[in-house]
Amino acid sequence: MAAMTTRRILTGDRTTGPLHIGHYAGSLQNRVALQRDYETYVLLADVQALTDNAANPEKVRANVLEVALDYLAVGIDPRVATIVIQSLVPEIAELTVYYLNLVTVARLGRNPTVKEEIRQKGLEGHLPAGFFVYPVSQAADITAFGAHLVPVGADQLPMIEQTVEIVRSFNRTYSPVLVEPEALIPRAARLPGTDGQGKMGKSLGNAIYLSDPAEVVRRKVMGMYTDPDHLRASDPGRVEGNPVFSYLDAFDPDREGLAALKEHYRRGGLGDVTVKRRLAGVLEDLLGPIRARRAEFATDPHEGMAMLRAGTERGRALAPRTLDDVRRAM
């Protein structure tokens, strides 16, 4: 009975760079909050990272530990959550091959997040096939662990939809062995970049990293894009679409103070510098303790790697069971 009622979480991050405040708002916060209520698996997606970094495996490898340090720094507890290195779970690749037969090229081409990423990353004309089909490999990640819940940022919603379609198609075509997952998207679902672009991304050069030193955070905040029509402090300003306010919405605990600030900005008479100073303070309150914990863990990278190996050993036990179910069903 216990095994039947265990609810599982799977999430993860591509190991393409250190994590940023968008990850914190979009997914890390939820993972930390839920890690004791669900059996939680967190995937260091180094195989997926290669889909647009094939020429750069060293970067992908080096960031396995960097991302793991970010996990520990924000409070993912390796005694309750299991952190798994994707490349050490080869069953995921085999599941991907079977699922690819259940998805059409046309359907893959309609995935709005992949379309946007192809544009953002400038992959038009030389798009790696592996990148184009990565939503299918994500379906393999999620189902390999039999996850019920997937806490992710809003950009990942189309991936979960596609996973559900694959699960339904598989269960209908063969027999019902795969778990249908559900996405968990937070309120501040998608943090824009410091440049005002749609999404903060670790490969996009517009991120504030959890590991940035205090002066760097301050410099990035002071250089942020705001309302381009707000030229003088006395001018009325726009709050919507202004990333400084998006960040305050996501992280400022003083909701009343923030509401008054927005009102003043809209009315005019409030300079960008004042608002940015407030944001710099709010972010420092958030990031100061995270940075300190990260520095502590970073003093012993060997222990960090040992922890990752142990987690992977434990976590990868689930994947062969799923693969076995899948092969039998087929």
Contacts with ligand ATP, residue ranges (CB under 6 A) = 13-14, 16, 22-23, 25-27, 152-153, 155-156, 190-191, 199-204
- Quick check: 76 and 68 in contact, CB under 8 A? no
Q: Which is nearer to ligand ATP, 69 or 323 (CB)?
A: 69
Give CA–CA dist 77/225, Å, rounded.
35
Q: Which amino acid is at 157?
A: L
**At its nearest, how many Å lie between ligand ATP and the CB of residue 218?**
20
- Supply the minimum distance, in Å, between the C-beta of residue 235 and ligand ATP: 28
Considering the complex, what minimum distance in angstroms separates the CB of residue 247 from ligand ATP? Answer: 11
Nearest residue (CB) to ligand ATP, 8 versus 230: 8
Closer residue to ligand ATP, CB minimum distance, 8 or 199: 199
Q: Please, what is the minimum distance in Å from the beta carbon of residue 155 to ligand ATP?
A: 5
- CA 199 vs. chain centroid, Å, equals 12
DSSP class of 191: P
- In whole angstroms, how close is the CB of 262 to ligand ATP at the nearest point? 21
Of 69 and 326, nearer to ligand ATP (C-beta) is 69
Min CB(279)–ligand ATP separation in Å: 16
Say how far apart CA 224 and CA 228 lie, in whole Å: 11
| Closer CB to ligand ATP, 18 or 315, in the complex | 18
Spatial distance between the Cα atoms of 68 and 65, rounded to a whole number of angstroms: 5
For the CA atoms of 31, 36, 39, 45, what is the dihedral angle to 10 degrees? 30
Burial class (CB in 10 A: 0-12, 13-18, 19+), 101: exposed
Smallest separation, CB 51 to ligand ATP (Å): 10
- How large is the angle between the packed helices 91-100 and 318-329, nearest 10 degrees? 30
Q: Which residues pair with 45 in a beta bridge?
A: 14
Number of other CB atoms surrounding residue 256 within 10 Å: 7
* Residue number, 230 or 242, with CB nearest to ligand ATP: 242
Q: Which residue is nearest to ligand ATP (CB)?
A: 26
Measure Cα distances from 133 to 10, 101, 128, 151, 204 in Å: 19, 11, 9, 21, 21
d(CA 137, CA 156): 13
Nearest approach, Cβ of 44 to ligand ATP (angstroms)?
10
Residue 10 or 191: which CB sits closer to ligand ATP? 191
